[in-house]
Amino acid sequence: MTQIKIVRTLRDLRGQIWEWRGSGETIGFVPTMGALHDGHLSLIRLSHKHTSKSVASIFVNPTQFAPGEDFESYPRTEEADVAALASAGCDLVYIPEPGSMYEENHSTSIHITGVAESLETDHRPTFFDGVAIVVAKLLNRCAPDVAIFGEKDYQQLATIRRLVIDLDMPVKIVGAPIARDAHGLALSSRNQYFDVEGLALARKLNVIMQDCAEKMRGGMNVDLAAAQAKQTFLDTGFESVDYVSVASTHSLTPLAGGILDRPARLLIALHCKGVRLIDNCEI
């Protein structure tokens, strides 16, 4: 198991990064909010394929939670997270001291249009502003060569790609395939909120999504297939569906007239026993 280094100050983080850079190492970075599962660890393992050193961060970012969301109750499992990162071969974990990420007079915001509009933003209007500022700060702090983000948060990944292009940030963004459990449920820190019944229902999300994608691939109008899938989710017992949408793989623009005329992604957000789930797949 790698001897993982834990740093809590920006000074210590930069000191270690500069030391590594001085000896020719390259840096891969995996930002997280902790409550780590095998999906996160797969990002660390992917980072090793790109760079010689891997760095993770653990920071539950308050600015990406809206009032009434689960910021306070978000699982905080630092000790287990550090052990899991070490087992995946992570070299360093940056756990910023509380209060050190946003100074009291923090006044800068980043608002991204285009890919960051619609879908999640229709339901969580300030989410990507919060993600953009924290990811920009973490990338500036860590200065990695490569940063890895999971495709489960597909719109987030597209938004971060836009962010680093628009702000000329010298980092390569790599998307990692969605990690799923043996029943196809996309791994998520929030899955631990489920009881047995909730988990059984949540596992039907991927089944219905794959069936919908198959119909679209088979030539069914994507708007019709999406509407049918939405109804199936409700009939199956999901409380409500935020969206079942099809968007162009790269720009995330909707397909006109429901015609599958370019590479596209099926994206879904819904509520399952009090937990909001998102998932997606290539069509």
Q: Please report how close the Cβ of residue 232 comes to ligand PAF at its closest, in angstroms.
A: 28
Collapsing DSSP states into helix, strand and coil, what is residue 183?
A: coil
Q: Which is nearer to ligand PAF, 147 or 213 (CB)?
A: 147
Q: Phi then psi for 91, rounded to 5 degrees?
A: -85, -35
Pairing of strands 53-58, 27-32: parallel
Token couple for 193: 């909120």
**Contact between 41 and ligand PAF (CB under 6 A)?**
no
Minimum CB distance to ligand PAF smaller for 53 or for 152 = 152
CB atoms within 10 A of CB 236: 13
Q: Sketch the per residue contact string, 149 through 168, with ligand PAF: x for CB under 6 A, - otherwise.
A: ----x--x------------
Given candidates 135, 178, 205, 272, which one binds ligand PAF under the rule CB under 6 A?
A: 135
What single-letter amino acid sits at 210?
Q
Please report whether residue 31 would count as binding ligand PAF according to CB under 6 A: yes
Nearest to 94 by CA among 11, 203, 191: 11
Distance CA 130, CA 4 (A): 28
Q: How far apart are CA 22 and CA 27, in angstroms?
A: 12
Alpha helices in the chain (DSSP H): 10-22, 38-50, 78-87, 120-123, 127-142, 154-166, 196-202, 204-217, 222-236
Q: Does the footprint of ligand PAF cover residue 134 (CB under 6 A)?
A: yes
Residue with smaller CB distance to ligand PAF, 71 or 243: 71
Tell me the window of 1-9, 27-35, 42-50, 204-212 that interacts with ligand PAF (CB under 6 A): 27-35
Please identify, using beta-carbon distances, which residue of 148 and 216 lies nearer to ligand PAF. 148
x/- mask, ligand PAF, residues 94-133, rule CB under 6 A, reads -------------------------------------x--
Q: What number of CA atoms fall less than 13 Å from residue 197's CA on the CB side?
A: 5
Binding to ligand PAF, residues 55-94 (CB under 6 A): 61, 64
279 binds ligand PAF (CB under 6 A): no
Q: Is 40 a catalytic residue?
A: yes
Catalytic center residues? 40
Which residues sit at the interface with ligand PAF, rule CB under 6 A?
A: 31-33, 61, 64, 131, 134-135, 153, 156
